[in-house]
Structure 1
């Protein structure tokens, strides 16, 4: 199956692969190409920048969260209408969850049978980069490193030595050399890059990055490398696989349950497939925002509050008394509410920051603070141990967490925490999943392709609430 494709990888995080990926996508789009963008691993922020550059959603491919066959189906499905697919890797090329590099960018590249474009941060290094690149080439010959981009070049002499050394010792083509940039085009903060909804000049930033790519990268050669990828040895996406989720699989109408999606600059972490899965299960998504003051909560039959940055919007969230009171009232009445990470923070009693104490929605028996270091970071695995409206007892699923918030006062009991963490930090004493009536809040983010039962449960609960 023909799918022009390329994986952009690096030796470590912070090497510049996101800015280069954004630049390549934007430059190709200017040439009239339709680019299908993907992000390896559990990531919302980088995916947001890739989506902005491509002008369409970016989809995550992660073999820890999602079975390999569904990862492959998702890639085939979402790259079907594009001229070229670009997959941005995560961390170092061979970095995974175990000694064998399981879940690494390299393993994803092999699954997709995709050529790799390796971004090298060449800061204060010359001939050694050839040795490092040769090591990568020999470490796993099944990973096809088809090109290199030299990043953070100090000058023409630096570039010349690098080019000569890499050509002599590895023979891998150099498809671009980018100098050290005078300033950060994509600024960072505690959880990585500033997300597109909070970057005031996001569109301008993408345009600036595309100009850098056009100037310093061989865009035609990169496209040729992607187009030179061998046909994928697969029969194509399975019609039955959740990897083929399409919105509207079940016809929606005015009678369909309304699923409120709390989505704005405070709550922006949603996988596109999760929203699509709710639609496919028969739900009707409705976007709402607690940042819009003095507006009533629209009529909904369930609520999905994703992750984000409530800490940077704490003042606005606290000032919207009408929304907070409506949320408390609806939760007492049994409205199904599923909240992840930032959503959990918003449902708390209070959020304590350096700037002061901010009242939140007051639904859950917990007070949260904020740390300068991550309190939960990485993949999770949870086991459901207490009855709830979403998952059967004994059910296990995989997810991920990344949060700086921490519990400073737990006012509930052990039975209010329905998940036992088999991997990850969770909320309190190795547990997660705060349950109150039909509210379930957790630090663990899930992906619907890995947990297809979630969307069905959401819509089922919404239908029950609508009929009450």
Structure 2
């Protein structure tokens, strides 16, 4: 078992400071040098995690203290470190930004939980001596946070860099480990939460390679490696690496709609389904003519709006899914999956028909309609959660409900104690064995999710066998 876990937290003074560029390029460069890198993303984000996963060539796991709690954070980190040489943990927002004025659940708090050294990337746009003041403030704000280095970003030229280096050298006892200049254009396009999902980037591997080249040229990656190797770990117990059981041929089959329209899934959620004996089958709502024979279906979030024409045109798949749900197929859908199960999606005054299980139509707005952590109280019957259960999750969407006509057998099962939900402080619309919500859940913090999905899949599998039919 591994007794040390070389690691780095890449943090910034704010969102958009360059954390993903540094993390992505560093992971890619180290991988090119033959190191095995374990990537992690602080917070609930899917898109950055997808890019880090692609660069590392292995899953990127989310470390979110709000969703899972600190004890599960430690065990997830050590278990998923596995055979890696170094872990790179990308923070979110500013280092000390959390849910409140105390910085609860911030990147700084995560770094203390994992006893990880921190490297700050600092946007130096239109600033010189003030950069030193900002870094000094970061160092003194919480001395329990182990800030071990800084990388300058958006540097205007050699003179700009020289002044900032001198200022930091005079006032701060941390090394400057690189200075990334202002670069013309960008090979990493942005949309919604930040980067375009890597699945939609036209030249994803080239973009990652170019980012690695930038980091090699302007950043001391050997210095960063030394900081990572110096990390202590007295509160990190060497956990047994995740070992998933071999799929049982008798286990229920859970379909996962996973294509360019539905991309947002935590790998931990898949692992928890596999641990419970399920078999997973990837399905495309864009290209397959009908829903395969499955015992349950999981539809994650994503961008159905950018695939609205293809989703609408695949009439046979939508019909087969609607028929399966009416027959009693257990379906769990989140955010984009909720929109897909609705009546229609309206974009630029054009209406695109969706599955039509829920008589709800959605429109896409130019500004976010909800963004942040959610807290949910299950207050009505539904297929997956016991009434009275409390859930923690998050929501981020630009869509909103524009018309809603309730039908018999349909109701909202969640009351929002934090967050927006679907409408009127409610989320989790339920019909037969289907449940759809804007709230995303993480299986480590919500074990009831995997329990409920597998339990319902097993029951549906038994029903099909008893009746001698396919869904």
1:404-423 pair list within 5 angstroms: 404-412=398-406, 416-423=411-418
The separation in 1 between residues aligned to 2:199 and 2:444, in whole angstroms, is 25
Structure 1 equivalent of residue 459 of structure 2: 464
8 Å CA contact 1:3–1:232 kept in 2: the answer is no
TM-score, structure 1 normalization? 0.96
The separation in 1 between residues aligned to 2:190 and 2:316, in whole angstroms, is 33
Structure 1 equivalent of residue 466 of structure 2: none
1:63-462 pair list within 5 angstroms: 63-237=65-239, 246-248=243-245, 251-292=246-287, 295-354=289-348, 356-412=350-406, 416-462=411-457
The separation in 2 between residues aligned to 1:29 and 1:457, in whole angstroms, is 38
| Gap regions ≥5 residues in structure 1 | none
SS of 1:90's equivalent in the other structure is: strand
Aligned residues: 460
TM-score, structure 2 normalization? 0.96
Q: Aligned pair in 2 of structure 1 residues 322, 401: CA closer, same or farther (>3 Å)? A: same
CA shift at 1:246, angstroms? 4.2
Deviations for 1:161-194, whole angstroms, at most 9, x for unmatched residues?
Answer: 0000011110210011000010111111223210
1:8 aligns with 2:10: yes
The CA RMSD over aligned residues, in Å, is: 1.3
SS of 1:89's equivalent in the other structure is: strand
Deviations for 1:140-165, whole angstroms, at most 9, x for unmatched residues?
Answer: 00001100000010000000000000
CA shift at 1:355, angstroms? 5.6
Q: Structure 1: which 4+ aligned runs deviate by more than 3 Å?
A: 234-237
| Gap regions ≥5 residues in structure 2 | 464-471
Structure 1 window deviating more from structure 2 (9-18 vs 184-193): it is: 184-193
The separation in 1 between residues aligned to 2:66 and 2:149, in whole angstroms, is 27
Q: Aligned pair in 2 of structure 1 residues 183, 232: CA closer, same or farther (>3 Å)? A: farther
CA shift at 1:245, angstroms? 5.6
SS of 2:29's equivalent in the other structure is: helix
8 Å CA contact 1:150–1:176 kept in 2: the answer is yes
SS of 2:454's equivalent in the other structure is: helix
Deviations for 1:375-422, whole angstroms, at most 9, x for unmatched residues?
Answer: 110000000001112111100010000000000111127970000000
CA shift at 1:98, angstroms? 1.3
1:28-43 pair list within 5 angstroms: 28-43=30-45
